[in-house]
Amino acid sequence: MKIIRKSAAAETTESPLTPPPRIKPWKVMVIDDEPDIRQLTALNLRGFEFAGRPLQLIEAASAAEARACLAEHPDIALALVDVVMETDDAGLRLVEYIRKDLGNVMIRLVIRTGQPGIAPERFVIDNFDIDDYKDKTELTVQKLYTTVRSALKGYRDLLTIEMNRAGLNHILNVTPELYNLHRDKLEDYFRGLLIQIIGICNLGTSGLISTIDGLVLTMEGQDIRIRAGAGDLEADPANEERRKEIVALCSQAVTVDQLPTQLPTHLPTQLRDGALVVPLQVHGAVIGFIYLETHADISASDLELIQIMANQCAAALENFHLHHSLEESYDEAIDMLGQVAEFKDSATGTHIRRIQAYTHRLAVALGCSETEAARYGKASRLHDVGKVGIPDSILRKPGALNEEEYNIMKRHSLIGDSILARSSSLSLARAVARSHHERWNGSGYPDGLSGEKIPFVARLVAVVDVFDALVSTRPYKGPWQAKEAVQAIAEGSGRNFEPRIVAAFMTLIESGQLDDLIVAATQPPEPAAVLA
């Protein structure tokens, strides 16, 4: 599928909702305390255009007025600055304010003076960050034209460099996580690519830096989500209606491989003259598109570069989908193994689900990110998966285990480790299965680990596993009161459990954030599952 472009000659019917083509003028500020100079400058620049864009002149009669104008118009491209105004060096002090206080390195500054003896050219050029120095007597109509044009060209080129730098910065920040992208990271990646595309369109062409609008979209089944926008198509409630219509039109365009000529009656034409629709394809299937608006021709080489960037978008989407497919497979594996444990021992089936919730909440309370806490919670579901290798007579014995039976029961941690060792993606769950019965003082099993040698996730599960077992009904015991179980956990701090984790657990208990899980633990156990 090729890039689809709307010709300026295409017959369209602009609806009242369709904004007219947006061509922003170059903003030029004339700072001079002589009204005649400001008026003459405006007269000499009448009808001036650069790169298809007109000028918007902003006048200031003093340095103080200029500061106010700069605050109101941060996108001024060029300032023609008189030196002598309120004071003999007011213009030079204004230059310092712009460069140092405002930190504005983009605006082009041209000093104009009628009294060159007060501010000698070499001194000013050597000591102030200006772009040109002119005696007012030099500025004939032609020289003023040349000065303004050169300054605007420099401003445009600096913006192009900055836009490409910003886009590249977005991309480089996200690229290391390209194979572990979450939706917000993917949007950052797309935003960087879009900025790069807009910057590329300015290379070898004129004035596209502020006359391009664009948004990157993806289609996932019937769901189309806007990923990144620029110009008139940035995320803004005021633009929502137009964005929806563009989505509908571009969807039709990439489906039939041409811009729509006959539209549904409820959709006004929204694709402006010169619009580009660039399909995003993976293995021949269209998974999205980029829509760009421009008011100037784009060269063949730039179109080729845009397509390359579109391919990068498509590759990022494919990696995103593959990554989440793997995540879903991992979750399914966790769930299936968890169900095996539930089938084996119905008394601990609901216990497994509660342990996941306990672990998740405790991890968050200890400062873990939501993503990390979710991983710990999933891994905790398999802490007792090794019980599939323990005889039912021991698992369901309605009484205390003797020493021989207890030694057999302890083997479940090694059995779980052996089961989960077959997949590297289950390494976190494997650490839980093997080490959740280790104790902070080294008196646990199977390895006698102590302190921080015990995996962090296993230290979390050690606390919540014991607590939930105490408040639950088991074949060999009735439920403890929550108060008694909390006391047992507190007494185990520094011996069985890490003190920091116990403290966080106590805070959750006292705040009532675990009440729902405690209530659920007191419910009668579910009937044992029967396998056909």
Q: Which residues are catalytic?
A: 387
CA 334 to chain centre: 28
CA angle 128, 133, 138 (to 5 degrees): 165
26-31 and 78-82 strand pairing: parallel
Number of H helices, E strands in the chain: 18, 11
What's the rounded Cα separation, in Å, for the pair 87 and 117? 15
Give me 61's structure tokens.
Answer: 């009669």
What's the rounded Cα separation, in Å, for the pair 434 and 428? 10
Question: In terms of Cα–Cα distance, which of 70, 58, 71, 68 is closest to 32?
Answer: 58
DSSP 8-state secondary structure symbol assigned to residue 387:
G
146: which residues sit within 8 A by CB, 6+ positions away? none
What's the rounded Cα separation, in Å, for the pair 129 and 97? 11
What's the rounded Cα separation, in Å, for the pair 432 and 461? 7
CA 176 to chain centre: 13
Look at residue 248 and give its three-state secondary structure.
helix
Rg, the chain, Cα only? 35
Number of Cα atoms under 13 Å in the Cβ half of residue 185: 16
What's the rounded Cα separation, in Å, for the pair 173 and 176? 7
